[in-house]
Amino acid sequence: MLDKINQYAAEIAAIQPQNKVALEDFRITYLSKKGLISTLFENFKAVPNDQKKAIGGELNKLKQAAEAKLALLQEMLSNQGDDLKDDHFDYSLPTIPHQIGTRHPLWLVKNRIIEIFERMGFSIATGPEIEDDWHNFSALNFAENHPAREMQDTFFVNLNPDIALRTHTSSVQVRTMETQKPPIRILSPGRVFRNEAITARAHCFFHQIEGLYINENVSVKDLKQTLLYFAQEFFGKKTNIRMRPSYFPFTEPSVEVDISCQICGGKGCNVCKHSGWVEIMGAGMVDPNVLENCGIDSKKYTGFAFGMGIERITMLKYQIKDLRLFSENDVRFLRQFQHI
């Protein structure tokens, strides 16, 4: 019996209930009517008389130690709130809100553009960002001394001046014409690079989406109707377009395409510099030289091409004034586009 008393005494000394529920467990185990100490008192009746004094003294000490510990802990834990609330998860609490990321505005606008042209049968073509002179310039009819080849416009690779970062995704059109037979109807979205100082209106890299359609009997009418459909789907049904004569080495005739100003509806304002029109892209009929360079019979086939900057389209649509915002990754800017 003495062994048991010593064992319980050691247990009681070591035990450290951390909350009221654990303390109640302690009380029931050692001090309740059917607890371990009461059981010892029951058994004490059978202890031979000559041992009663010694064992009785130890047993009383054990009981007192347990009661003292209980009282002390009750005091210590009295500041703790209701056991159930402290110890159990409160399922009625609102959850911690998830911070869900948002799509980048350029990604959203690119996909919106693709979605519109896909309805007209265009499919996606991609190509390398590091290009050779042929695909970026020569096949596209750039003259040997064309200024776009100059160091101030293009990032060349020092060790090999035949290799450059592509300046437009027209290079993907060349690659497609070289490997596919007409009819060809592709869109080439992608990142392009130009050796420009970084300002609110220019950057050393940006994104383009270019289109190419080659078939028999393709004419300027097809180009104009395709771009009008795009402009009205993207900017709104009331949008009008106009074409101004321009020059690109790879198209003839070449045009710049304007849309009626979204802000003033054509009346004239700061955004359109009081002209009523804003430029959205370059376009034209593919120059026969380009078709021949890519192995396509220019007597049989004609085609149109167009190219726009995704940043520019996004800035026009959402009145964004600074190009740098697209690459700064400021979440206060990016979060505004989750629903477009």
| Binding residues for ligand PHE (CB under 6 A) | 168, 170, 210, 248, 251, 282-284, 305-307
| Shortest separation between residue 105's beta carbon and ligand PHE, angstroms | 21
Q: Compare residues 65 and 124 and give the one whose CB is closer to ligand PHE.
A: 124
CB of 235 to ligand PHE, least distance (A): 19
**Residue at shortest CB range from ligand PHE:** 307
Least Å distance, CB 337 to ligand PHE, is 25
**In angstroms, what is the minimal distance from the CB of 211 to ligand PHE?**
8
Going by C-alpha positions, the residue among 23, 205, 67 that lies closest to residue 129 is 205
CB nearer ligand PHE, residue 63 or residue 166: 166
CA atoms of 231 and 4, how far apart (whole Å): 92
Residue in the structure block whose two tokens are 């270019």: 210
Tell the smallest beta-carbon distance from residue 132 to ligand PHE (Å): 17
Q: State in angstroms the smallest separation of the CB of 308 from ligand PHE.
A: 8
Q: Smaller CB distance to ligand PHE: residue 37 or 291? A: 291
Could you tell me the two tokens for 123?
């499919």
The smaller minimum CB distance to ligand PHE, of residues 131 and 210, is found at 210
Least separation, in Å, of the C-beta of 323 and ligand PHE?
16
Which lies closer to ligand PHE via its Cβ, residue 305 or residue 325?
Answer: 305
Q: Which is nearer to ligand PHE, 30 or 230 (CB)?
A: 230
Question: Which residue, 190 or 282, is less far from ligand PHE as judged by CB?
Answer: 282
Contact call for residues 257 and 226 (beta carbons, < 8 A): no
